[in-house]
Structure 1
Amino acid sequence: MELSIAEKFLLIAHHPRKARFLTSEPQLNFGLVGTFLLEMSINNQLHIENNRVFPDKSVVPENPTSREIYYLVKGSGKNRTIRLWLRKLSRKANRYRWEVLENLKEKRLMRIERRKFLGIIPYRKSYVTDSRTRDQLLKELKKQILSRHRDTATSNEDMAVLGLIEACKLHRTLTTDRTELKKLRKALKELIKESPIAGTVQQTIRQVQAAVIGAIVASPAAAGGSS
């Protein structure tokens, strides 16, 4: 089954049984935006250089969400930094998330329940319905990381997913064994450095992490200012 980088990321980040995610809200939002930037970079619809995002004016994405982001980048008139785009687009991350979850629902990998709080306020909950596909995806990614003699090169798409696992601290979705976890983290860093798209992935990882830290630091400051 063909899955986009965004679909793989949300499937991995989602709790396998409960209606929640395994990472913080800032990590989820910035990570999701990162999936679109990375996928468009891989597809030559934009490129990332010196922490700045440049649109390719000749290649327009087919995916509606990617196309919206592409035109925002193109229409800005300036080659802005990854960090700025992560922060700007993270404001739309909740909508992007549900668009991706709806795609996963159509592929029968997720279930979305619509409910009402106090019988008035509508809200939605998402659940993984095909844990086998999620488990297989994690198994394949783990094998890519830990295999010393790789039979096949890691695809750019999987490298992007692995980079976001690193950026959003989702290593425990791959293993919960402490010894193996330490080995996996080290091997993942090495794999990312060896990747043909290492520069793009590493720049995005750094900026996602910086944006997450900035959001976390800003939260208590905002709370303090409003008290």
Structure 2
Amino acid sequence: MPMDLSVAEKLLLLCQSPDKNGLSVPGFHLPYGIIASLMTDLAYSGHISEKERKVVIVNKNPDKASVLSDITETIRESQKRRSMKSWVQRLAMSSGRFRRAIQDELERKGLLRIERKKFLGIISYRKTWLRGHKTQKSLVNTLAGAVRHPDLALPPSDLRLLGIVLVCQLHETLGLDSAKDQESLDSATYRILSEDSTMRSLAQIINETDMATGQIPSTVNQAAFYQLNSSS
């Protein structure tokens, strides 16, 4: 990858429409994906870890001005130790401000153009446009290739990103079709869920949310869970 990007930045770059304002996919599950990607960035940079299935802060502070610092402070100030699943669910309710902070960073890196506006001069909103077309295309090719060619090795951070994309049903960002690529999607999701407890927690959140809101749970997640349960 030509530019050093966090998992959260890559996720939002993937989800940005290549030629229109805003996202290229429905964002129903994106809040959970955003938080999972930020928690991944914190874990991979050594700021948090898991102990006895609970998230704990490691004595290494992120940049005080960063979105990661906001999350570590929230975890640090909590009177209760929580699991990764619990933190993803709780923080997803504030995902809008985290998404804006990530978009701001993408703008600083020249990958996004943001138009900041006000409705009736009072209510702030923004429009986002892709600038980093080559970077987005490279990401798409890398992750889609890993789905279609299982022997293709990915760095741990990109493997986690792929897991978030698949579990949150954002595979259309990779040009993958649920019908034509179903077998490859099921296989890739199963491999990731069988090896990554954080992705299993995220898949549980997505399926529980779908059921609670009357939506049909992801067929990709269902197939992967069925395979996991059958093999255990």
- TM-score, normalised via structure 1 length: 0.80
Q: Does 1:97 align with 2:99?
A: yes
Q: CA deviation at 1:9?
A: 0.6
Aligned residue in 2 for 1:85: 87
Aligned residue in 2 for 1:156: 156
Consecutive unaligned residues in structure 1, runs of 5 or more? 218-227
User: In 2, are the aligned partners of 1:83 and 1:211 still within 8 Å (CA)?
Assistant: no
Q: CA deviation at 1:178?
A: 5.7
Structural RMSD (CA): 2.6
User: In 1, are the aligned partners of 2:19 and 2:129 still within 8 Å (CA)?
Assistant: yes
Aligned residue in 2 for 1:169: 169
Find the aligned partners of 1:80 and 1:214 in 2 and give their Cα distance.
Answer: 23
1:125 match: secondary structure = strand
* Cα distance change, pair 179–212 in 1 and its aligned pair in 2 (3 A): closer
1:161-188: per-residue Cα shift (whole Å, max 9, x none)? 1111112101122224566421331231
- TM-score, normalised via structure 2 length: 0.79
1:108-163: per-residue Cα shift (whole Å, max 9, x none)? 1111012232455332111112222111111011122222433xx32111111111
User: In 1, are the aligned partners of 2:85 and 2:198 still within 8 Å (CA)?
Assistant: no
Aligned residue in 1 for 2:213: 216
Q: Which has the higher contact order (CA 8 A, sep 6+)?
A: 1
2:60 is matched by which residue type in structure 1?
V
Find the aligned partners of 2:75 and 2:207 in 1 and give their Cα distance.
Answer: 20
Q: CA deviation at 1:104?
A: 0.6
* Cα distance change, pair 87–141 in 1 and its aligned pair in 2 (3 A): same
* Cα distance change, pair 118–62 in 1 and its aligned pair in 2 (3 A): closer
1:10 match: secondary structure = helix
Q: Does 1:62 align with 2:63?
A: yes
2:94 is matched by which residue type in structure 1?
K
Aligned residue in 2 for 1:205: 203
The structure 1 residue matched to 2:110, chosen from 108, 128, 145, is 108
Consecutive unaligned residues in structure 2, runs of 5 or more? 215-232
